[in-house]
Chains A and B, each alone.
Chain A
Amino acid sequence: DAGITQSPRHKVTETGTPVTLRCHQTENHRYMYWYRQDPGHGLRLIHYSYGVKDTDKGEVSDGYSVSRSKTEDFLLTLESATSSQTSVYFCAISESKAGGQQDTQYFGPGTRLTVL
């Protein structure tokens, strides 16, 4: 298994509180991604990173911010959590191929977040 860990694995929080999820990799892969998975929607990309301090928005980025100060860590922050952000969050990593193309993705175990 690719060396990807997510913390915390479970979190319950209240509306309006800030929440930070952490993704840590030991593979030295260039790309890191944050997804959310909800019934009926499949997997949707929130933000991704293509290098230290280089990030870009995904399909559902509103209400989320990210930071990547080191190759191995990618943080996802909900500045003020809402009930609509209750979801399972997955981190993924991928290598960079020739020409900058992204390779297959390896996923972390997920974080189950409940916002009351």
Chain B
Amino acid sequence: SQQGEEDPQALSIQEGENATMNCSYKTSINNLQWYRQNSGRGLVHLILIRSNEREKHSGRLRVTLDTSKKSSSLLITASRAADTASYFCALQPGNTPLVFGKGTRLSVIA
């Protein structure tokens, strides 16, 4: 399967803590993207990391990519209640549409 697999499926943390979620995959990729989905809304793009990159930052987000292990992680630092959402990794195997994983449900408790 080309689909990425997020881990954990669900995560519950206290406000101010860091949240880490992982994505593992089996195919070669051009890039890997992370998206957020608030309840009842469409997905929102967070960050894209290309296969030749190892780490990218965007505000409180840090994404790493290890192509040798075929895995990526998304770190949200100093989490807030507003970060409560589902987070999806999406793979771009080639010049083909993205393939989305099933997501990690993050709950940040105030």
Binding site for B on A (CB under 8 A): 4, 31, 33, 35, 40-45, 48, 58, 90, 92, 99-102, 104-110
Contacts and interface: CB of A to CB of B under 8 A. Distances in A.
Contacts of B25: none
A-side interface mostly = strand
B22 to A, nearest CB: 15
Contacts, number: 53
Contacts of A108: 42
B44 A42 contact: no
B43 interface: yes
B95 A102 contact: yes
13 contacts: A35-B100, A42-B88, A42-B100, A45-B99, A48-B97, A100-B95, A101-B92, A102-B92, A102-B97, A104-B33, A104-B45, A106-B45, A107-B44
Contacts of A90: 42-43
Contacts of B69: none
A105 B44 CA distance: 8
A105 B30 CA distance: 15
A45 B45 CA distance: 17
A105 B46 CA distance: 10
A6 to B, nearest CB: 9
B42 A109 contact: yes
